[in-house]
């Protein structure tokens, strides 16, 4: 009986094992009831006493070795298989998905509200001439009314006719540009980035505004009022109220300030709104001088305009609960991911 041959055969088979099924086959082949080792013991009985004495211990040794190997490998393999099953059933790690910034979402929502009424979204320069930002809006150079706009001027960029270059402090700078296109009637929605030297919970130096301008024959205040109501209903929901206060702007006559009841306290008064009402922005009937700058005859055409901050407008929406406009620009994911 060749113990050495049996050992070699086992060694060869051992190389081919890759999983627990292979291992089980191997176990049966060598250690099974009718396996190679059992057969060898049967044969051993037929041998002479001296042969038995020599081969017996060798066979026992081989049996133990095979048992030890199979046992060790089986523990190893089952651990590995368990682990790999575990990994397969774990939910995958999802890649982080970005989404549109809350200001962009607000811009898109506002566009959707005005679209059905035929408003056309336009954009005008973020850096524009004094003429469009002020002069053509009935605010002559050196006029004190301009102070309110806390304007950033672009150093070294000036034109004799157009004046200095400024970072547009409001989207009203698009009004006369739109009129000068020469197409009437006008239903403009100008949305753009503006800049002013102001910072507190309600103001940031770089913000967005949207400006509505309607010019046609026979336009009057009732059209403006109707539009404000339409916007409040469609953007904020039926429970929010607006009110109009007389105000003064150089480019509208009459002029109004449009307020909406505060979303945080719903009219009681809080740190954010103080009086229960928050200012959305300005509105009014386009001043005849502005129409003239836009080469439109004020005897034939009239119009209204309104201009509001996008961020402010969005902050007053139900459920947003944004109590500091600066959060919108803080780039803090804990804040931004909520929208």
Task: Give residues in contact with ligand DAH (CB under 6 A).
Answer: 170, 172, 211, 249, 252, 255, 281-284, 305-307
Give the nearer residue to ligand DAH in terms of CB position, either 66 or 169: 169
Q: Which residue is nearest to ligand DAH (CB)?
A: 282
Residues with Cβ within 8 Å of 235's Cβ and at least 6 positions away in sequence, in order, are 109, 110, 113, 313, 317
Q: How far is the CB of 165 from ligand DAH (least distance, A)?
A: 18
Give the nearer residue to ligand DAH in terms of CB position, either 305 or 310: 305
Q: How far is the CB of 300 from ligand DAH (least distance, A)?
A: 20
Q: How far is the CB of 92 from ligand DAH (least distance, A)?
A: 49
Give the nearer residue to ligand DAH in terms of CB position, either 57 or 226: 226
Q: How far is the CB of 137 from ligand DAH (least distance, A)?
A: 8
Give the nearer residue to ligand DAH in terms of CB position, either 110 or 305: 305
Give the nearer residue to ligand DAH in terms of CB position, either 59 or 285: 285
Q: How far is the CB of 238 from ligand DAH (least distance, A)?
A: 26
Give the nearer residue to ligand DAH in terms of CB position, either 164 or 169: 169
Question: Burial, 32: exposed, middle or buried (Cβ in 10 Å; 0-12, 13-18, 19+)?
Answer: middle
Q: How far is the CB of 204 from ligand DAH (least distance, A)?
A: 14
């Amino acid at each position: 009986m060749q113990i050495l041959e049996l050992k070699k055969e086992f060694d060869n088979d051992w190389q081919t094992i890759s999983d627990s099924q292979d291992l089980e086959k191997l176990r049966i082949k060598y250690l099974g009831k009718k396996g190679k080792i059992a057969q060898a013991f049967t044969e051993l009985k037929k041998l002479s006493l001296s042969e038995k004495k020599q081969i017996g211990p060798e066979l026992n040794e081989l049996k133990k070795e095979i048992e030890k190997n199979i046992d060790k490998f089986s523990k190893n393999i089952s651990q590995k298989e368990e682990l790999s099953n575990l990994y397969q059933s774990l939910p995958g790690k999802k890649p982080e998905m970005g989404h549109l910034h809350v200001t962009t979402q607000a811009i898109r929502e506002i566009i959707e509200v005005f679209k059905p009424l035929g408003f056309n979204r336009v954009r005008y320069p973020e850096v524009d001439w004094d003429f469009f930002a002020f002069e053509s809006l009935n605010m002559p150079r050196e006029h004190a009314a301009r102070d309110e706009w806390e304007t950033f001027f672009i150093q070294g960029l000036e034109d004799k006719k157009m004046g200095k270059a400024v970072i547009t402090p409001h989207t009203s700078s698009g009004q006369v540009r739109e009129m000068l296109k020469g197409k009437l009637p006008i239903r403009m929605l100008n949305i753009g980035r503006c800049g002013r030297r102001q910072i507190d919970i309600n103001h940031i130096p770089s913000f967005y505004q949207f400006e509505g301008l309607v010019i046609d024959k026979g336009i009057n205040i009732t059209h403006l009022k109707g539009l404000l109501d339409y916007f409040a209903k469609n953007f904020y929901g039926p429970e929010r109220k607006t009110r109009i206060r007389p105000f003064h702007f150089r480019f509208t006559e009459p002029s109004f300030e449009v307020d909406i009841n505060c979303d945080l306290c719903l009219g009681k008064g809080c740190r954010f709104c103080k009086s229960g009402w928050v200012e959305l922005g300005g509105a009014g009937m386009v001043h005849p001088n502005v129409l003239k700058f836009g080469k439109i005859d004020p005897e034939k055409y009239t119009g209204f305009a309104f201009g509001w901050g996008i961020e402010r407008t969005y902050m007053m929406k139900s459920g947003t609960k944004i109590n500091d406009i600066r959060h919108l620009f803080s780039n803090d994911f804990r804040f931004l991911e909520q929208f």
